[in-house]
């Protein structure tokens, strides 16, 4: 059974990818996941310099999900390249480096620095972060900003470039088209949905950051809708995510038009979930006489 998928010129052994921020730098999951069988994983979001992230509490469980305001804590690009990547050298999985910057120049610097690193298969630009030069408005919210940001990153790297979209916008398809126009090879969506929780003992927001990003099953129908719309709005491949917790969820996203899927929060509940979903997709294809992944289409199409 051939589960391989092609995102442009980049082939994955199967469509299952572990999502950024929920899979560390890959190595943390070695006791649970066979990295030779996993389609790919996206690293924790990296920046030029290490970051400590936000004050605690920065995570809280919610109905069918969780809220986080980690604040993009990470070890920084240099340490990733010197301490983590060499240990990942011989695994077959695709390595996607998720990255971000405070300014357009920082994005370009990151992409340039990663361009010649052969073991890195793709870059995933997280645009759901504050643009320091524009008073902290998120890069992701303005199509003109997204287009120009992607254009400048595109010029600085030949790597496969994925732009990760935020659902906290009026029309995600407009942002997806801006990323495509800017030269993205693929888009991935959705990042977390902004939310909050209040502690009734103190009557203060539970998270030190006050607001956080909602993820997990609670956002799945919203994410699926955005993926469905976006897959019809752009020609480049769409990587779908948001609340995928089992095989059926993954198959829904693939049917809605995603070429590959990412699994995030579900890794915290079952660190071996990616392996189970790969097996489940294989079983579904066998019982439904599906020969190749591109045959998994929504019947309305
Ligand atoms: C604790 C945590 C940290 C995350 N960190 C990042 C990150 O660094 N970069 C990024 O692009 N997305 C990050 N995300 C978003 C996930 O990659 C994913 O888009 C989102 O959680 C929706 O998928 P899920 O419902 O399967 O978790 C993070 C999510 C969680 C829960």
Q: Write out pLDDT tens, residues 49-97.
A: 999 999 999 999 999 999 999 999 999 999 999 999 999 999 999 999 9
| Distance (Å) from CA 1 to ligand 1 centroid | 30
- Quick one: pLDDT at residue 131? 86
Q: Write out pLDDT tens, residues 248-295.
A: 999 999 999 999 999 999 999 999 999 999 999 999 999 999 999 999
Residue whose CA is at the smallest distance from ligand 1 atom 28: 21
Neighbours of 89 (CB within 10 A): 9
**Residue 235 · residue 13 · CB < 8 Å:** no
pTM, 2 dp: 0.98
Name the residue of 21, 226, 250, 261 whose CB sits within 8 Å of the most ligand 1 atoms, as the mutation to test its pocket.
Answer: 21
Q: Is the shortest distance between the CB of 224 and ligand 1 below 6 Å? A: no
Q: Is the shortest distance between the CB of 264 and ligand 1 below 6 Å? A: yes
| Distance (Å) from CA 45 to ligand 1 centroid | 9
Closest-CA residue to 127 (of 41, 209, 38, 187): 187
Which residues are tagged catalytic? Answer: 129
* The two three-digit tokens of residue 47, written as one number: 């920046």
3-state helix, strand, coil in the chain (%, to 5): 35, 20, 45
Q: Is the shortest distance between the CB of 22 and ligand 1 below 6 Å? A: yes
DSSP secondary structure, 14-59, as one string = SSEEEPTTSSTTSGGGTTT--TTTSSEEEPSPB-SS-B--PPSP-E
Banded model confidence at residue 1, pLDDT cuts 50, 70, 90 = confident
- Quick one: pLDDT at residue 197? 98
DSSP 8-state class, residue 138: B
Half-sphere exposure at residue 50, Cβ-oriented, CA atoms within 13 angstroms: 6
Residue whose CA is at the smallest distance from ligand 1 atom 6: 21
Q: Is the shortest distance between the CB of 182 and ligand 1 below 6 Å? A: no
User: Helix (H, G, I), strand (E, B), or coil: what is residue 213?
Assistant: strand
**Residue 144 · residue 177 · CB < 8 Å:** no
Closest-CA residue to 246 (of 267, 231, 222): 267
Largest CA distance in the chain: 57
- Quick one: pLDDT at residue 226? 98
Q: Write out pLDDT tens, residues 129-169.
A: 888 888 888 999 999 999 999 999 999 999 999 999 999 99
| Distance (Å) from CA 189 to ligand 1 centroid | 10
- Quick one: pLDDT at residue 116? 95
Q: Which value, to the nearest 10 degrees, does the dihedral of the CA atoms of residues 154, 74, 34, 265 take?
A: -90
Can you list the alpha helix ranges (DSSP code H) found in the chain?
A: 77-79, 85-88, 104-115, 143-156, 172-181, 220-233, 247-256, 266-269, 273-287
**Residue 214 · residue 64 · CB < 8 Å:** no
Banded model confidence at residue 41, pLDDT cuts 50, 70, 90 = very high
Nearest atom of ligand 1 to the alpha carbon of 188: 19
DSSP 8-state class, residue 282: H
Q: Is the shortest distance between the CB of 163 and ligand 1 below 6 Å? A: no
Nearest atom of ligand 1 to the alpha carbon of 19: 17
Q: Write out pLDDT tens, residues 185-234.
A: 999 999 999 999 999 999 999 999 999 999 999 999 999 999 999 999 99
**Is the omega angle on the peptide bond into residue 189 within 30 degrees of 0, that is, cis?**
no
- pLDDT above 90 as % of the chain: 95
- Quick one: pLDDT at residue 300? 80
| Distance (Å) from CA 288 to ligand 1 centroid | 32
Q: For residues 103 and 133, what is the distance between their CA atoms, to the nearest angstrom?
A: 6
| Distance (Å) from CA 287 to ligand 1 centroid | 32
* Model confidence at 301: pLDDT above 90: no
**Residue 39 · residue 94 · CB < 8 Å:** yes
Closest-CA residue to 165 (of 150, 180, 175): 175
Closest-CA residue to 164 (of 107, 211, 116): 107
Banded model confidence at residue 181, pLDDT cuts 50, 70, 90 = very high
Q: For residues 218 and 192, what is the distance between their CA atoms, to the nearest angstrom?
A: 11
């Amino acid at each position: 059974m051939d589960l391989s998928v092609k995102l442009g010129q980049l082939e994955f052994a199967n469509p299952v990818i572990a999502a950024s921020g929920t899979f560390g730098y890959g190595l943390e999951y070695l006791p649970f996941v066979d990295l030779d069988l996993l389609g790919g994983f996206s690293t924790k979001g990296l920046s030029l310099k290490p970051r400590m992230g936000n004050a605690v509490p920065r995570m809280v469980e919610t109905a069918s999900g969780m809220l986080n305001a980690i604040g993009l804590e990470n070890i920084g690009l240099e340490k990733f390249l010197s301490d983590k990547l060499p240990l990942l050298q011989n695994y077959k999985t695709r390595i996607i480096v998720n990255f971000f910057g405070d300014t357009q120049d920082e994005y370009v610097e990151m992409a340039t620095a990663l361009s010649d690193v052969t073991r890195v298969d793709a870059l995933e630009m997280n645009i759901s972060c504050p643009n320091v030069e524009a008073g902290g408005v998120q890069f992701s919210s303005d199509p003109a900003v997204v287009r120009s940001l992607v254009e400048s990153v595109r010029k600085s790297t030949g790597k496969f470039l994925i732009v990760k979209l935020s659902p906290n916008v009026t029309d995600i398809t407009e942002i997806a088209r801006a990323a495509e126009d800017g030269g993205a090879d693929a888009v991935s969506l959705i990042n977390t949905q902004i939310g909050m929780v209040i502690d009734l003992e103190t009557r203060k927001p539970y998270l030190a950051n006050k607001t956080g990003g909602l993820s997990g099953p609670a956002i799945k129908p919203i994410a699926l809708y955005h993926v469905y719309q976006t897959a019809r709005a752009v020609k480049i491949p769409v990587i779908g995510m948001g609340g995928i917790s089992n095989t059926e969820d993954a198959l829904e996203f693939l049917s809605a038009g995603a070429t590959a899927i990412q699994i995030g929060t579900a890794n915290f509940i079952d660190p071996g979930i990616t392996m189970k979903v790969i097996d489940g997709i294989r079983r579904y294809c066998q019982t439904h006489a599906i020969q190749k992944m591109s045959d998994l289409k929504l019947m309305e199409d």
